[in-house]
Amino acid sequence: MMKDLLAQRVNPDVPSALSGLFPKDDDPRAISFAAGSPNEDLFPVQAMHTAFDTAMINHGAHLFQYQTSQGNADLRDQLARRIGKWGQVQTTRDHVVLTVGGQQALELVAKTLLNPGDEVVVEAPSYVGALAAFDLYAPTYYGVPLQNDGIDLNALEDTLKQHPNIKLLYTVPDYHNPTGITMSVAKRQQLVALANKYDFVILEDSPYRDLGYEHLPLPAVKAFDTEGRVIFVSSMSKILMPGLRTGWMVADGGLLTAILRARQASDLEANNIVHAAIDAYLTANDLDAHVDILKADYQRKCAAMIQSLEDYFPDEATFTRPDGGFFDWVTLPEELDADALLSDTIIPQAHVSYVPSTNFYPDRNVRNGFRLSFTGLAPETIDEGMHRLGDQIKAALHAAKPVV
Ligand SMILES: Cc1ncc(COP(=O)(O)O)c(C=O)c1O
């Protein structure tokens, strides 16, 4: 009865891309490679506590007043300078919008651009949270495969020729979620050239860009934008703390005006108290030094994961070798179904979990892969969990191809 009252976009018969992502396993031996959570032992809690105090002392009651829908101007200033330095994007605070996590930025862009049926290109696979945000606006998706250096531009151009009305392309160019792949600089430039030629908007989502283990961040796709058609999104979640719920975007011209209109209707403005505290944190602390600590920790964990994939997985399974970020992507032989394996044997018998590939494809049709996240686990735990997982994969492969 209630169902009839709901808008189609939240139809309970269609599972949300974000629901059931992280399987529950209460067993004490459980090891989860599913959630992409940062290592909370490294959260700068004390420094942030001080920053909140500083913000309150400096701003007094005004801190708690309504501000602007773009958000705290001082923080926007700092972020504009940061993306100038580390992303080669020449912009100012007037083009920056603070959001409730990067996730809100993605949803606002979808709300601003997409009518039902509008055509959208996503990388295949793609970030599940973006698919969940886009799904609400019922677009028509085209998935374009990834190569080791980012989206396959030939396949993209074929798709653009076949579907000249494509409006939006969504990409995670740096240490991609879920594959860990990074787009080459040449491709970033060529992608913008294609956007200019075929007249579409690029949504560049880059929360992991600072987390190249041994690299400085590459120029953003937005750095090559000549027509104001790239919307850049990033976040404090992966380099500071997700609980701050602070993301940000850089947009220009009519796109910026339209996004702000959608933002005002949605929540008027973001959380100024948190943003003043982040501004105080960035003023008093060296964020890059903090990021260096994260990079060293994640590099060690990533190395443990790659080593365990080499040690415990069958040769038939292939995997990416990320040099930054949170994730690794495993591709199994096509006869294996990562969803069924997870629920039928891997969780019940090995108490290990991952996120199956179906979740990262708009039509949920690729079943033989999965995403592994390593940032929240100690190297010994990674080794233990991957040993158990590898044994299960080997057994499944053996069962699928019995020796005669
Ligand atoms: C690619 C990507 N975009 C956006 C987000 C959203 O993060 P937040 O809303 O915490 O900034 C995530 C989080 O995992 C992500 O991986």
Contact between residue 88 and residue 219 where contact means Cβ atoms under 8 Å apart: yes
Contact between residue 324 and residue 215 where contact means Cβ atoms under 8 Å apart: yes
Strand partners, 202: 169, 230
pLDDT in tens, 355-380: 999 999 999 999 999 999 999 999 99
**Residues 360 and 343 occupy one common structural domain:** yes
Give the pLDDT score at 388: 97
3 pLDDT band, cuts 50/70/90, is: low
**Residues 348 and 279 occupy one common structural domain:** no
**Residues 148 and 280 occupy one common structural domain:** yes
Last residue of a domain, one of 284, 318, 348: 284
Phi, psi of 151 (to 5 degrees): -55, 145
Last residue of a domain, one of 254, 284, 314: 284
**Residues 81 and 34 occupy one common structural domain:** no
Ligand 1 atom at shortest distance from the alpha carbon of 105: 9
Give the pLDDT score at 2: 59
**Residues 100 and 147 occupy one common structural domain:** yes
Residue 36 Cβ < 6 Å to ligand 1: yes
**Proportion of the chain above pLDDT 70, given as a percent:** 98
Residue 353 Cβ < 6 Å to ligand 1: no
Contact between residue 357 and residue 338 where contact means Cβ atoms under 8 Å apart: yes
As a whole number, the mean pLDDT across the chain is 95
Residue type, 51: A
Instruction: Give the number of domains in the chain.
Output: 2
Ligand 1 atom at shortest distance from the alpha carbon of 242: 10
pLDDT in tens, 243-274: 999 999 999 999 999 999 999 999 999 999 99
Q: Lowest mean pLDDT: which of 23-27, 136-140, 177-181, 385-389?
A: 23-27
Residue 375 Cβ < 6 Å to ligand 1: no
Give the pLDDT score at 314: 95
Residue 242 Cβ < 6 Å to ligand 1: yes
Q: In angstroms, what is the span from residue 102 Cα to ligand 1's centroid? A: 5
404 pLDDT band, cuts 50/70/90, is: low
Contact between residue 104 and residue 271 where contact means Cβ atoms under 8 Å apart: no
Give the pLDDT score at 26: 87
**Residues 91 and 232 occupy one common structural domain:** yes
Sign of the alpha-carbon dihedral angle for 372, 181, 217, 170: negative
Contact between residue 249 and residue 201 where contact means Cβ atoms under 8 Å apart: no
Q: In angstroms, what is the span from residue 109 Cα to ligand 1's centroid? A: 14
Residue 171 Cβ < 6 Å to ligand 1: no
Residue 178 Cβ < 6 Å to ligand 1: no
Q: Hey, which bits of 276-386 come out as E strands?
A: 318-319, 327-331, 352-353, 355-356, 369-373
**Residues 232 and 295 occupy one common structural domain:** no
DSSP 208: T
Asked whether the predicted pLDDT for residue 301 surpasses 80, the reply is yes
**Residues 319 and 261 occupy one common structural domain:** no
Ligand 1 atom at shortest distance from the alpha carbon of 236: 11
Number of helices and strands in the chain (H, E): 11, 14
- Please tell me the number of Cα atoms within 13 Å of 386 on its side-chain side: 27
Q: In angstroms, what is the span from residue 400 Cα to ligand 1's centroid? A: 36
- CATH number, residue 367: 3.90.1150.10
Residues contacting 384, CB < 8 A, separation 6+: 31
pLDDT in tens, 9-27: 887 777 776 776 777 888 9
Asked whether the predicted pLDDT for residue 403 surpasses 80, the reply is no
101, 106, 110, 113: CA torsion to nearest 10: 110
Q: In angstroms, what is the span from residue 101 Cα to ligand 1's centroid? A: 7
Question: Whole-angstrom Cα distance, residue 131 to residue 395?
Answer: 33
Residue type, 312: Y
Q: Which domain holds residue 23?
A: 2-43+289-400
Give the pLDDT score at 4: 79
Give the pLDDT score at 279: 98
Residue 207 Cβ < 6 Å to ligand 1: yes
Residue from 107, 205, 231 whose mutation best tests the ligand 1 pocket (most atoms within 8 A of CB): 205
Give the pLDDT score at 338: 96
Identify the residue whose C-alpha is closest to ligand 1 atom 16. Answer: 177
Residue 102 Cβ < 6 Å to ligand 1: yes
CA 23 to chain centre: 19
Residue 325 Cβ < 6 Å to ligand 1: no
Question: Whole-angstrom Cα distance, residue 267 to residue 99?
Answer: 10
Q: Which of 142, 82, 138, 109 is nearest to 286 (CA)?
A: 82
**Residues 186 and 256 occupy one common structural domain:** yes
Last residue of a domain, one of 224, 250, 284: 284
Asked whether the predicted pLDDT for residue 62 surpasses 90, the reply is yes
- CATH number, residue 103: 3.40.640.10
Identify the residue whose C-alpha is closest to ligand 1 atom 14. Answer: 36
Q: In angstroms, what is the span from residue 103 Cα to ligand 1's centroid? A: 6
1 pLDDT band, cuts 50/70/90, is: low
Q: In angstroms, what is the span from residue 67 Cα to ligand 1's centroid? A: 25
pLDDT in tens, 102-113: 999 999 999 999
**Residues 348 and 260 occupy one common structural domain:** no
72 pLDDT band, cuts 50/70/90, is: very high
Residue 237 Cβ < 6 Å to ligand 1: yes
Question: Whole-angstrom Cα distance, residue 367 to residue 331?
Answer: 9
**Residues 56 and 161 occupy one common structural domain:** yes
Q: In angstroms, what is the span from residue 207 Cα to ligand 1's centroid? A: 6
The average pLDDT across 280-293 equals 98
**Residues 14 and 102 occupy one common structural domain:** no
Residue tagged 């959570």 (tokens): 37
Residue 38 Cβ < 6 Å to ligand 1: no
